[in-house]
Amino acid sequence: MKLSNILAAVAVQSASAFVAGPHCQRTIVSSSTQQSMGLFDFFSEDARKEREARKQAEIEEQERLQREIIARRSNPKKMEEYEAKVRVRRALRMSGEDEAADKISVYTGEDEKIVGLN
């Protein structure tokens, strides 16, 4: 009798090895409910606003640089400074010192007030 109980217990254990048991359910919590749609994100309101802000910032930067160029052309002293910087930068490039030439900025970063343009 004991042998048949042992055989039955072993049979039940080995049979349960191939049965799907309860799985541990995992819950994934997302901090945001917004899903990335890839290509369709291009058409979202936020993406449009970001593109417009980037475009406006680029336009403002180009206008500032253009005002600096115009101011430099109308002021002989600033033009001499600019030409000296360009000569130094070109000499450095010709001697192969590109990193040093990149450090020389021909633009001062000052925003010039020009009558008729601002």
Measured over the CA atoms of residue 57, residue 59, residue 63 and residue 65, the dihedral's sign is: positive
What is the DSSP-derived secondary structure letter of residue 44?
A: S
For residue 14, give the H/E element and its range.
Answer: helix 2-16
Rounded to an integer, what is the distance from CA 98 to the centroid of its chain? 26
Map out the domains of the chain as residue ranges: 44-118
- Model-level pTM greater than 0.95? no
Please write the tens of the pLDDT for every residue from 43-54.
Answer: 788 888 999 999
Residue-wise DSSP of 45-94? HHHHHHHHHHHHHHHHHHHHHHHHHHHHHH-HHHHHHHHHHHHHHHHHHH
Please write the tens of the pLDDT for every residue from 59-100.
Answer: 999 999 999 999 999 999 999 999 999 999 999 999 999 999
